[in-house]
Amino acid sequence: MFKRLREGLKKTRDKLKEGLTAVLSIGRDLDDRLLDDLEEALYTADLGSTGTAIIEDARRAWKRREVKTTDDVYAFLQREIRARLGDSAPIRTATSGPTVVLVVGVNGCGKTTSIAKLSRLLVGEGKKVVVGACDTFRAAAVEQLGIWADRVGATLVKGNPGADPASVAFDAAKTAREQGADVLLVDTAGRLHTQEGLMKELEKINRTLARQIEGAPHEVLMVLDATTGQNAVQQAERFKAAVEVTGIFLAKLDGSAKGGAAVAIRERVGVPVKFVGLGEQAEDVEVFDPDDFSRSMFEGT
């Protein structure tokens, strides 16, 4: 498990190491210049303004003589990153009846693939899973979700092409209830927080789910494309202002050198990262573990 994450974070780790080694191998004592260089190293791993905040803390610790050597500062950075990732947060569940997870995000960020991954995890735990194809905009989208559902053993609920997404949400909730499903995962079309019509549509899906199943949606999972780094952070910030997002699925961490964005997301958006996507297959997923994640940013080859 941990190995996959370490592989996924390799590019991020290399970037970080490259930056840190360049700064730390010189063996000089800590000074203001060195701290500035460190800030730049964190920036390359895409920690954004969170990197600046961490260096400010390091500067204070240095002035208080808590951090003196370059070794101290390395340990300090790892500790700070771990602390800023917060606690691991499980998916929110319903107290009775199906747990409803609404999956949102911009075009192409990885929503449908991430639903396949979640379905597979849940089915593997013996849960009965229904997926609702509320991206009715493109026929191919419904087809893609249908193929995944078949493969991972989930039940697909879809509407006619071009159907009102909220009507599919209604049918999916009904099916989930009637079949005694444990989890309903709702796929939606990609959208930006600025697209008023599409945001209204999302509210309608939300309301429909809430009327059908008490407390639904229990989890609003926003999928973010890790390769877009600080853009993803901004997207999440803006989206969260419009819709109550309760968790992040950070997709495409494999091959991205921007894994540090996870730290910025946690801090700036204030929403826990709950899963990470590490490839294009249904098994390429891990439950987010802040200990493993912070370790994987620093340790490994």
Ligand X SMILES: Nc1nc2c(ncn2[C@@H]2O[C@H](COP(=O)(O)OP(=O)(O)OP(=O)(O)O)[C@@H](O)[C@H]2O)c(=O)[nH]1
Q: Which residues bind ligand X (CB under 6 A)?
A: 105, 107-113, 135, 141, 190, 251-252, 254-255, 277-280, 284
Comparison of 114 and 294: residue with beta carbon closer to Mg ion: 114
Q: What is the DSSP string of 117-186?
A: HHHHHHHHTT--EEEEE---S-HHHHHHHHHHHHHHT-EEE--STT--HHHHHHHHHHHHHHTT-SEEEE
Choose among ligand X, Mg ion, none what residue 279 binds, the Cβ cut-off being 5 to 8 Å by kind: ligand X
Q: What are phi and psi of 85, to 5 degrees?
A: -80, -10
Instruction: Compute the least distance from the CB of residue 112 to ligand X, in Å.
Output: 3
Comparison of 176 and 250: residue with beta carbon closer to ligand X: 250
Comparison of 61 and 198: residue with beta carbon closer to ligand X: 198
164: CB partners within 8 A, 6+ apart:
136, 204
Q: What is the DSSP-derived secondary structure letter of residue 269?
A: I
Comparison of 121 and 251: residue with beta carbon closer to ligand X: 251
Choose among ligand X, Mg ion, none what residue 132 binds, the Cβ cut-off being 5 to 8 Å by kind: none
Q: What are phi and psi of 245, to 5 degrees?
A: -95, 135
Choose among Mg ion, ligand X, none what residue 105 binds, the Cβ cut-off being 5 to 8 Å by kind: ligand X
Q: What are phi and psi of 168, to 5 degrees?
A: -70, -40
272: CB partners within 8 A, 6+ apart:
86, 87, 88, 89, 247, 248, 266, 288
CB 55 within 8 A of CB 38: yes
Instruction: Compute the least distance from the CB of residue 108 to ligand X, in Å.
Output: 4
Instruction: Compute the least distance from the CB of residue 129 to ligand X, in Å.
Output: 17
Chain positions contacting Mg ion, by CB under 5 A: 111-112
Choose among ligand X, Mg ion, none what residue 252 binds, the Cβ cut-off being 5 to 8 Å by kind: ligand X
In the bound state, the residue with its beta carbon closest to Mg ion is 112
Is 283 exposed, middle or buried, given 0-12, 13-18 or 19+ CB atoms closer than 10 A? middle
Choose among Mg ion, ligand X, none what residue 90 binds, the Cβ cut-off being 5 to 8 Å by kind: none
Instruction: Compute the least distance from the CB of residue 107 to ligand X, in Å.
Output: 4
Comparison of 112 and 212: residue with beta carbon closer to ligand X: 112
Comparison of 232 and 257: residue with beta carbon closer to Mg ion: 232
